[in-house]
Amino acid sequence: MAKGMREIKRSIKSKQNMKQITKAMEMVAAAKLRRAQEAALSARPYTDKIREVVSSIAAGSGNIKHPMLQKREVKKTAYLIITSDRGLAGGYNINVLRKLMSTVAENHRSKDEYEILVVGRKGTAYLNRRNISIAEEVTGIADAPKYGDIKPVASKAVQGFEDGRYDEVYIIYNRFLNALSQIPTLKKLLPLATDEFKGAATQYEYEPDAESVLSVLLPKYAETVIYSAILEGKASEFGARMTAMGNATKNATKMIGELTLTYNRARQAAITQEIAEIVGGANAQG
């Protein structure tokens, strides 16, 4: 009985230590979530404005023959997936990766029909375990990403489409709703849908001509969409981690309570047994 009580007490101590860790991680994730959410929200006006400008120029300039606006026969598709470098974030990473695998399974018969560009170590590790080749990867992105952090992978995706290496480019990421809800999202990045550029309300003056301006703005717009998705992904990551660590803390508290109750019962049983043995010994001597 004493051995069993020592094991229970050791288990309680272990759960208490784990609870301290998960509680600290929950608080850190909550602090980072606030900053990441602010960054994602502050980036939206810029993304909306550049889209408005591009829409206005494209809608008001007749037949624009920019490569990023041209649809062609789809022979190869690129998927840019956004994952995290660290785990302990609930279903954050696996939901995105499942979305990728189901999309690939539904739309492609051969690995030659698609390429994958990855942000985050978790995505890289997942694909490597399944022997899926990665065209480009970016890891070590800061908790507060800068535009330059994602420039290599964004430029490769955009340039790959312009050069004809890819006929379509999609982003797969977690769209942030709140700390409890992140939605795995498949978003078509390229080619840009020309029907989205109809009916622009604002007119802009520009020079030298529409095609020259769009040749600069369209790649910038595509890269901005990718950057915005990464900011949303960061907010989703911290929201998922805060929720996961909060649940872990609650579970640890519940387990500590159950173990404490078991320990107290075992201790009471041991005391009762000792008393019974003392009384029995006294009666035998009397």
Q: In the predicted model, is pLDDT for residue 14 greater than 80?
A: yes
Residue 197 — very low, low, confident or very high, per pLDDT cuts 50/70/90?
low
Residues 117 and 174 placed together within one structural domain of the fold: yes
Residue 72 — very low, low, confident or very high, per pLDDT cuts 50/70/90?
confident
How is residue 237 written in tokens?
Answer: 């990551």
- Which range marks the domain in which residue 66 is found? 26-242
179: DSSP letter: T
Can you tell me the mean pLDDT for 139-145? 88
Residues 163 and 210 placed together within one structural domain of the fold: yes
Residue 29 — very low, low, confident or very high, per pLDDT cuts 50/70/90?
very high
Strand partners, 183: 175
Residues 60 and 168 placed together within one structural domain of the fold: yes
Task: Please state, for a pLDDT cut of 70, what percent of the chain lies above it.
Answer: 88
Residues 227 and 257 placed together within one structural domain of the fold: no
Which one of 133-142, 187-196, 245-254 scores highest in mean pLDDT?
Answer: 245-254
Can you tell me the mean pLDDT for 172-191? 88
Residue 152 — very low, low, confident or very high, per pLDDT cuts 50/70/90?
confident
pTM: 0.82
Question: Is 65 inside a domain boundary?
Answer: yes
Residue 107 amino acid letter: N
Q: How many CB atoms lie within 10 A of CB 218?
A: 23
Instruction: Tell me if 110 sits within 8 A of 100, measured CB to CB.
Output: no
